[in-house]
Amino acid sequence: MVARITKASRMPLNLPREEQKIVIRPRGGLFLAKLEADIVMSAVITAANVPKTTGKADTIFINPTQNIIVISTPDEERARYYASVRSLYIGGRSYETHAYCTAPHGTVKGVIRGIAVENTAEDLHENIVNQANPQVLEAHRIGNTTSIVVLFAGTKVPNYIKYGSIIVKCGLYRQHHYVCKTCGKIGHRADVCPTPETKICFACGAPNPTADHAARCKPRCKLCNGAHATGAEGCTNKYKVPFVVTQRRWERRNAASAFSSQDFPQLPPQQQNEAHLSKRGRSRSRKRDKSRRQSASRGRSTDGKRSENMNYNRNQQRPGNVINGAQAINPQAANRNPLNHVAEAKDNTIQSLRNENEQLKRCIAEQRAQMQEMNAKLNQLINAQQQQQQQQVTPPPPLSPPQSQPRPPTPKENNTNSAMEVKSQLPRKLTAQNPKRSTLLGQANRDPRSERSNTHVNEESTLGWTA
């Protein structure tokens, strides 16, 4: 019941989400389900004072379950015209209406409680829709209660918001199922009831209750079938599931079941046929088992003697020596189990999968060995590179100061040196042969420049020769 009402109360899916939605709630017993669609369209366009040429771009939808009119328009000016409709003239009669704009797509509703009834709509807007609550778009009171509905941008409701200078707790707004207290039906409220003249007991649904009906009234909830009035406090099905919660459930369910084709690779054609045969065999066997269980339960539920008599009659009617046509034509084929080929196909499939598994294990082992070998080589290359970098970074030993090498003598100096060597060797030879002659020769060849410096040496040599 609840699921059917919820499904019937939804708006059509082809309405553009970015367009503005306006709801018109007719009062005074206007039954929209019994009216023609073109009459309702003409009445709405006429009441909103919208030209027919521009009104063709808008979409008008009649919800017979809630007994309301929903208008979708892309133009803000026409949306204001539709929201200003206060009455509809249909069938020579004027019906009072209440029109308002719905929450846009991509928003969520929250609720705060404990706000005094004396606060006006201007006070609510000033204390809630301000810079302290940047996500708040709108706020309005629920009837004459102390609860305030707050509209937030996005899909999340904060736990707390600021009302003026005080912080108040905020929760997700849960809309309850509409239950008409006039006619007792589910789906619309009493202000838009199409049959306001109907009188029933709201607790048990009895029509035209009398004064002494309360003594024998047995309440019954139409939402949960409980022993209380419909939608009373404590009813498990009183509130609707918010769309945000439903959307999150869809996302989780889709994320859990979103597997790609790579997660389930296709089997070869032969294995697909075998799997299909095994699936058909299992389904048939399950159906057969289910029917057997049902027949067995029926037999147990009936009288025991009757079941025994029926079983006895079946055994009498089916003797054991009866041979059917299949056994007469081919006894071996008749005695063969028709599900044997299914079991064989299943065993073959399992064996092929095991072989593929073993082959994959071997491939994985080979790849691991190759990876280990490559890692070892890579470590060796890294170590060699590090050593080479360390050698390049080490500073070279300090260089010793350059030693002065003697300049090679020129040819003239070579001749002079050789002549001096000959002269120096000649006195030694003469001294060895004739000391006296060598002395005289030395005196004759003495260099006057070195005479002073060598005076002492010559005297010692002369004294030595004289001695």
For residue 239, the model assigns a pLDDT of 81
Is residue 275 packed enough to be buried (19+ CB in 10 Å), middle (13-18) or exposed (0-12)?
Answer: middle
User: Which amino acid, one-letter code, is at 114?
Assistant: G
Q: Is the pLDDT of residue 333 over 60?
A: no
Residue 321's pLDDT band, with cuts at 50, 70 and 90, is very low
Higher pLDDT, 17 or 397: 17
Q: How do residues 52-77 score in pLDDT, each as one tens digit?
A: 888 889 999 999 888 999 999 999 99
H helical segments located in 318-454? 325-329, 331-335, 340-393, 411-433, 435-444
Whether the CB-CB separation of 160 and 167 falls below 8 Å is answered with yes
Backbone angles phi, psi at 205, to 5 degrees: 85, 15
Q: Is the dihedral of CA 209, 215, 216, 221 positive or negative?
A: positive
Q: How do residues 71-90 score in pLDDT, each as one tens digit?
A: 999 999 999 999 999 999 99
Whether the CB-CB separation of 430 and 438 falls below 8 Å is answered with yes
For residue 271, the model assigns a pLDDT of 55
Q: How far apart are CA 427 and CA 442, in angstroms?
A: 7
Q: How do residues 261-299 score in pLDDT, each as one tens digit?
A: 555 555 556 555 555 555 555 555 555 555 555 555 554
Instruction: Return the domain boundaries, the chain.
Output: 2-101, 107-172, 181-244
Q: How far apart are CA 334 and CA 325, in angstroms?
A: 9
Q: What is the DSSP letter of 95?
A: E
For residue 7, the model assigns a pLDDT of 61
Average pLDDT of the chain to the nearest whole number: 75
Q: How far apart are CA 85 and CA 100, in angstroms?
A: 9
Count other Cβ atoms within 10 Å, centred on residue 408: 7
Q: Between the CA atoms of 318, 321, 324 and 329, what dihedral angle is there, to the nearest 10 degrees?
A: 170
* In 17-65, beta strands by DSSP E: 20-26, 59-63
Q: Which residues pair with 162 in a beta bridge?
A: 167
Instruction: Give the three-class secondary structure for 172.
Output: strand
**Residue closest to 137 by CA, chosen among 105, 114, 168:** 105
Tokens of 390: 């360390």
Is residue 204 packed enough to be buried (19+ CB in 10 Å), middle (13-18) or exposed (0-12)?
Answer: middle
**Residue closest to 41 by CA, chosen among 97, 88, 76, 94:** 88
Fold match between domain 2-101 and domain 107-172: yes
DSSP 3-state percent helix, strand, coil across the chain (nearest 5): 50, 15, 40
Whether the CB-CB separation of 101 and 22 falls below 8 Å is answered with yes
Name the architecture of domain 2-101. 2-Layer Sandwich (3.30)
Please provide the CATH number assigned to the domain covering 107-172: 3.30.70.330
Q: How do residues 430-465 score in pLDDT, each as one tens digit?
A: 455 555 454 444 554 455 544 444 444 444 444 444
Instruction: Give the three-class secondary structure for 318.
Output: coil
Q: How do residues 350-370 score in pLDDT, each as one tens digit?
A: 888 989 999 999 999 999 999
Angle at 180 between CA 31 and CA 218, to 5 degrees: 135
Q: Containing H/E element for 240?
A: none
Count other Cβ atoms within 10 Å, centred on residue 123: 14
Q: How far apart are CA 69 and CA 74, in angstroms?
A: 17
